[in-house]
Amino acid sequence: MTPEKKNQRRLRNLALLSLLLLLVGGTFAFQAFNQRAINDRLRENTPGGRVHDYYNRDTENKDVFVENYGNVPLMARIRLSEFMEKRATGDTDFTPIVNGTIRDQVNTWTVMRPSETNLNTRVGDSAAFNTYANLTFGWTRSGQDAPWFMPTFNRDNSDLMTASAGHARDWLTSTATDGVTDGATHPGDGTDAYWSAGDSFDNSGPVWPGEEVTHDAAQNLQQERAPMTISQWAALPNNLKVGNFWVIDHQTGWAYWANQLQAGETTSYLLDAAQMTAAADNIPGEYYYGIHVDGQLISPDRINDFLAVDPNYTHHADLSDFLTAVQNGSIDNNWGNPGPDDDVQPNQINFSIMAPGTIFTMAGEQYRYLENMGANNHMIIRNEVITSTTFHNKENRSNQWYSDLDPTVQAMVQPVSDNFVTGRIENAEAIWSAGGTRWVPTNLGAFPEVAADVTQVAPTGSPRAFVLSLADVTRLSGPGRAFPNTQERTVSNGTWWWFRTPGNTVGAFPDNLEGGWRAHNGEMHGDLSMTHLSPNGGARPALIINQ
């Protein structure tokens, strides 16, 4: 992260029960009374999100992002406002660089509004800051995974307090604008990469506002594309318009996360740095510069809240399409496809316009759309895992699942091979792509049978469910595809799932000498014993359907 000057200030405002009775009399007499079963669930859907702001005066690090700590999806937006004033040597009063702005009244500060084609150039009143401060949007590090953060301890969703660390100041705890007063509400000193994998923090006391629990460090989502203006967003292909990146309406200054922020997810950085220029360094006297961060979070059914009239600015004409695309999970869903949780029949879905990665619910099952295979064939996969399934039993469990599907869905299923030739690749033999741990192997070509094991329609086969191969998952992983990043390859409840490709000849357990490939936390691993049985992983059946 690039540094910003010590005088810079940033203020924060938000936003079973079973009963079985068997009576046996005589040698063959038998009665079974009142066989009953109840399957139910009590769940409270609790939304909750927190804006994080990490800042350190000494190293001048600055991170701004949003965490969803609840159990339902959210949509998020952030707006930045700037203020600067300077005073020449010998003068008594400061003079703001934008007339009518007042340091102690953040509602008068100037909304950061970029040009339509370049986030790095401000326009309107905001243009006055081009001379003195350069803002850096997004987070990129060559060959590095996304950064780590400490999840909020404050899980009161009625509390508008932010998670401000280091020298950052939450607006509710301190409204001072003296460049000195602190108002931190979150652990950490605000320096770059303060948190890393394996770190934890015990908030007993509590030390910071919130629950007295221990949290482990978690990882931000990987940025899929650099932040962009909404005009630049409109020029993207439709299948790329929803994803993990920020889009700024240059007319209002609001920056929107271009995806539903799922439970337990945290955005990539909106702002990475605010570096003062040489012109600021050469001011004869002193200056004050501050950034105010206004964060707002809504549930996806409330997009009209983001479309409400802004008293000072006009929303971009494409904002409604943008918000609807995020709400539906695909821009193409604007043409009439249902939302991800709308349980519909197959004839209510138009698969030909569905973007890879779209989540949808059909005849009581939720799926992820994988790809359009041509000839009206579409590959889809169950969105959750059938747990407690060994590698050897994954096909049987998938077949059982298929036999219970709605007949209207079964009628659409295309035949695939009855016996896949999978080949084998050892866990240690895989070479991995740069920029992501165990993301996709780059040397499958050295294992021809593994590389050739790509699922296709096979007229001589059987209409059935199947398990994806290592080659399938590799092909379906990447920007604009069904699994654009490790987070999207991770099932929502954190369970891992088997591929059909064998891995190690020496497995993880001494009672079995074979291992299989799987996806775990979005990464690919090929060293888990084929007899391993766990409630945290299992089979994830896929289908090829024709419409």
Distance CA 222, CA 478 (A): 12
Predicted pLDDT at 355: 82
Distance CA 266, CA 253 (A): 21
Q: Residue 471 has what DSSP assignment?
A: H
Predicted pLDDT at 250: 97
- Collect all residues with Cβ–Cβ distance below 8 Å to 90 and sequence separation of at least 6: 285
Closest CA relative to residue 55, chosen from 118, 6, 113, 107: 6
Closest CA relative to residue 79, chosen from 221, 244, 308, 249: 249
Q: For residue range 182-232, list pLDDT tens digits in order.
A: 789 999 998 889 999 999 999 999 999 999 999 999 999 989 899 999 999
Mapped onto helix, strand or coil, the DSSP state of residue 85 is: strand
Q: For residue range 152-176, list pLDDT tens digits in order.
A: 999 998 888 899 998 888 877 766 6
- Residue positions counted in the chain: 547
Q: For residue range 264-296, list pLDDT tens digits in order.
A: 899 999 998 888 899 998 999 999 988 888 899
Predicted pLDDT at 174: 65
Closest CA relative to residue 209, chosen from 167, 253, 257, 172: 172
Match 């600015």 to its residue by tokens. Answer: 313
pLDDT beneath 70: ranges in the chain: 1-45, 174-180, 330-336, 435-436, 506-513
Predicted pLDDT at 179: 64
For residue 473, the one-letter residue type is: V
Predicted pLDDT at 336: 59
